[in-house]
Homo-oligomer: A and B are copies of this chain.
Amino acid sequence: MSTYPAPLARLIQELSKLPGIGEKTAARLAFHMLKGKKDDVFNLAESIGKLRKEMGLCRICFGFSEVDGQNGETAICWVCRNPERERERICVVEEPADLIAVERSQEFKGLYHVLHGTISPLDGIGPDALRIKELIERINNEVVQEVIVATNPTMDGEATALYLSKVIKPLGVAVTRIARGLPMGGDLEYTDVVTLGKALEGRREI
A190 interface contact, C-beta 8 A: no
Contact indicator B18/A29 (Cβ below 8 Å): yes
Contact indicator A30/B51 (Cβ below 8 Å): yes
Contact indicator B41/A19 (Cβ below 8 Å): no
Size class of the contact patch on chain A: 35 or more
Contact indicator B14/A20 (Cβ below 8 Å): no
A45 proximity list for chain B (CB < 8 A): 45-46, 48-49
The secondary structure that dominates the A interface is: helix
Task: Please choose the segment from A4-12, A136-144, A145-153, A168-176 that sits at the chain B interface, where 4 or more of its residues have CB less than 8 A away.
Answer: A4-12
Task: Please choose the segment from A85-93, A96-104, A154-162 that sits at the chain B interface, where 4 or more of its residues have CB less than 8 A away.
Answer: A96-104
Task: Please choose the segment from A32-40, A119-127, A180-188, A191-199 that sits at the chain B interface, where 4 or more of its residues have CB less than 8 A away.
Answer: A32-40
Contact indicator A34/B4 (Cβ below 8 Å): no
Contact indicator B25/A66 (Cβ below 8 Å): no
A77 proximity list for chain B (CB < 8 A): 5
A30 proximity list for chain B (CB < 8 A): 51
Query: Complex: how many Å from CA A40 to CA B51?
Result: 13
Per CB-CB distance, the 9 closest pairs between chain A and chain B, nearest first, are A45-B49, A7-B54, A45-B48, A11-B47, A14-B44, A3-B103, A14-B47, A31-B97, A5-B66
